[in-house]
Amino acid sequence: MRIVCRLFAVVVAASTAAAGYLDMHVHTAGIGAGGSGAFVGAEMRGNVRFRFYLRAFGVSEEELEAEGDGLAIRRISAQVAESQQVARAVILAMDGVVADGDLDREATQFYVPNDFVATEVRRYDNLCYGASVNPYRHDALARLEQAKADGALLVKWIPNIMLFDPADPAIEPFYGKLVELDLPLLSHAGKEQAFADARDDFGDPRRLAFPLSLGVTVIAAHIATTGDSEGEDNFERILPMFDEYPSLYSEISSLTQVNKRNYLKRALEVPGLDRRLLYGTDYPLQFRLLVSPFWHFPDIRVGTAHLVNSIPNRWDRDVALKRAMGTPEHVFARSAELLDVERCLLRTDPP
């Protein structure tokens, strides 16, 4: 009887999300098709992960060549539209490595231009724009201004693959501009395992203390799960920072992946941490095998795992799994509360 009641509770909760959540961590990618300007570096394109990720996006290289890189974003929009839980998603641009003030294509593994994402998401009323600007670009501050003008809800970094130190005093003007524009910074924290190479010392969450000290709203992705810095587990390393810096937030994307088992449970057991967490998926990495509910015994029951696994929509499945693992409703709602989602709703369509 207890199992039946638990299953019923999951079904009821899954049908009562008020207006739909905002997924604030959704990636796209491209190969330059249709004039997007996006590219995947030679090393990454030759890596087994490349085909794997295309499959996760639900596109083939041939389809992108024929229809353009906007196809991946169109398919994201269609899947979000089918979700009963998630109403909108923030599509993230991704800047690359910068040398002497300009993009270093040879050193960049993955690049998705701001203008491409900004233009594409305006075609869909359920997608929002997340910009990405390497602070070492010669026109970095102007790019931030443009991102804000184009409706960006945040700025996204992966310092581990963009190859810069978030604690470098030389980028203080960049942080000042983020504060001026009221643009939150979503920065990867912890070890980076999705790419061919990474400088994981740049993912040390303590390096984000510098922008936090300047008043930047920082969202440290994944609660810095996986990896260690200076001999200390990154997850344990970031926890005291929430008491030190009131403008520090994090988010729960990727925390149901098999390589991050128990991290969500540990996070929800930290007093007060749930009040600083946002909802995200890290799409396209929430496909079935990697985030199967069956990895999470005994935190969820067998019947609950079967119910979650039967949900066809990947966003609904993600919400159901995280909810079954104890994630409070206010975590799912906080993305839309912290980010200026109204900017996403007031934009105009592209020509």
What is the four-CA torsion angle of 248, 253, 256, 262, rounded to 10 degrees?
-10
pTM (predicted TM-score): 0.93
Task: Please state, in angstroms and as integers, the Cα–Cα distance from residue 162 to each residue in 27, 99, 187, following that order.
Answer: 16, 11, 11
Task: Please state, in angstroms and as integers, the Cα–Cα distance from residue 324 to each residue in 9, 226, 287, 291, following that order.
Answer: 9, 23, 18, 13
Contacts of 14 (CB under 8 A, 6+ apart): 84, 85, 311, 316, 319, 320, 323
DSSP notation for 194-213: SSS---GGGG-GGGGHHHHH
- The residue count of the chain comes to 351
What does the pLDDT read at residue 115? 98
CB atoms within 10 A of CB 78: 12
Which residues are bridge partners to 184 per DSSP? none
What does the pLDDT read at residue 148? 97
Structural domains present in the chain: 20-294+328-345 (3.20.20.140)
Distance, CA of 129 to CA of 126 (rounded, Å):
11
Contacts of 262 (CB under 8 A, 6+ apart): 299
What does the pLDDT read at residue 342? 86
Q: Are 327 and 320 in contact (CB under 8 A)?
A: no
The pLDDT tens digits along the chain (351 residues) read 444 444 434 443 444 444 699 999 999 999 999 999 999 998 888 887 888 888 889 899 999 999 999 999 999 999 999 999 999 999 999 999 999 999 999 999 999 999 999 999 999 999 999 999 999 999 999 999 999 999 999 999 999 999 999 999 999 999 999 999 999 999 999 999 888 789 999 999 999 999 999 999 999 999 999 999 999 999 999 999 999 999 999 999 999 999 999 999 999 999 999 999 999 999 998 777 899 999 999 999 999 999 999 999 999 999 999 999 999 999 999 999 999 888 887 665 554
Q: Are 151 and 106 in contact (CB under 8 A)?
A: no
Contacts of 24 (CB under 8 A, 6+ apart): 89, 90, 130, 153, 154, 186, 219, 251, 278, 279, 280, 335, 339
Block residue for tokens 């190479």: 197
The 3-state DSSP class for residue 148 equals helix
Q: Are strands 248-251 and 277-278 parallel, antiparallel or unpaired?
A: parallel
Distance, CA of 177 to CA of 174 (rounded, Å):
5
The 3-state DSSP class for residue 306 equals helix
Which residues are bridge partners to 103 per DSSP? 98
What does the pLDDT read at residue 16? 40
Sequence-ordered strand ranges (E) for 13-143? 21-27, 39-40, 86-92, 98-99, 102-103, 110-111, 127-130
DSSP notation for 258-285: GGGTTHHHHHHTSTTGGGGEE----BTS
What does the pLDDT read at residue 280? 98
- The amino acid at 89: A
Distance, CA of 131 to CA of 116 (rounded, Å):
10
What does the pLDDT read at residue 51? 82
